[in-house]
Amino acid sequence: MSQLVYIVASTAIVSLVSLVGIVTLSVTDRALQRVLQPLVALSAGALLGGALLHLLPEAVELIGNTIEVYATVLIGFSMFFFLEKFIQWHHHHGSAKEHKKNKISPVSYLVLVSDVIHNFVDGLIIAASYLVSIPLGVITTGATILHEIPQEIGDFALLIHGGMSKIRALRVNFFTALSSVVGGLVGFYFAGTIGNSFALLLPLAAGHFIYIAATDLMPELAKEGFKEGMQHSAFFITGLVIMYLLTLI
């Protein structure tokens, strides 16, 4: 198969993950939480392992300049920090009058806007990985999917909490997720235009993965009790081990 087929297929699968919210319709909150937390731990390990064991070594090999690679990682980390803070700031500064006027809370729209940006970037990252090598593309797609499952369930819950019906929340969540396919296509067709600079997307992606794991996922695991913490640590280590074993293939 050509790189383009892999990119389109992978980003389409990532988009379909947005429909995972449908499983919450018939599952109790307690049962869902029991499944979600181990999955969060596994995805944290997979994201860190994917960034440190796959994306960064490939970036150093392609770019050569180690300082440039790690500076780009810091830029990627910082970009997503400021994006998250910007969204939080807009959410907290939404006026009470605006909330009363609209049946759907402004936070729902902010969730959708951030999802479009996030999924578009995911598509770019997946495209960049496949253009380096097919195995790297598959690994990056796998790490992305592991992260997307708990995130999409969380987004689905936020949209419903913000006033959307379950069917509408599923529908709009899916359409915003399609931006990953757009990102993949943009990445593939513009790679030739920007030449070697496209390789900088790899350390940028590493910064993105490290940020999500370190600031969004791992703090959630730190809130658990000792017994749950030990169980989730095992899932976290499993995520790291999986990524390490993939380096041996």
- Residue 205 CA: distances (Å) to CA of 43, 114, 158, 160: 15, 16, 26, 30
Q: What is the pLDDT of residue 110?
A: 64
Q: What is the pLDDT of residue 126?
A: 93
Q: Which tens digits make up the pLDDT trace of 63-119?
A: 888 899 999 999 989 988 887 777 666 655 554 444 444 456 655 676 677 678 788
In whole angstroms, what is the distance from residue 96 CA to residue 175 CA? 29
Taking a C-beta distance cutoff of 8 angstroms, is the pair 50, 244 a contact? no
Q: What is the pLDDT of residue 241?
A: 92
Q: What is the pLDDT of residue 161?
A: 65
In whole angstroms, what is the distance from residue 32 CA to residue 71 CA? 39
For the chain, the structural domain boundaries read 3-247
- Between helix 134-161 and helix 3-16 the angle, nearest 10°, is 20
Q: What is the CA radius of gyration of the chain?
A: 18
In whole angstroms, what is the distance from residue 17 CA to residue 27 CA? 17
Q: What is the pLDDT of residue 246?
A: 85
First to last CA, the chain: 20
In whole angstroms, what is the distance from residue 76 CA to residue 216 CA? 15
Taking a C-beta distance cutoff of 8 angstroms, is the pair 8, 138 a contact? no
In whole angstroms, what is the distance from residue 53 CA to residue 206 CA? 10
In whole angstroms, what is the distance from residue 92 CA to residue 68 CA? 36
- Give every residue of the chain whose pLDDT is below 50, as ranges: 95-102
Q: What is the pLDDT of residue 92?
A: 58
**Is 93 in a helix, a strand, or coil?**
coil
Q: What is the pLDDT of residue 103?
A: 59
Taking a C-beta distance cutoff of 8 angstroms, is the pair 188, 131 a contact? yes
| Residues in Cβ contact with 190 at an 8 Å cutoff, skipping those fewer than 6 apart | 198
Reference 209, options 157, 165, 158, 147; nearest CA is: 147
In whole angstroms, what is the distance from residue 62 CA to residue 58 CA? 6
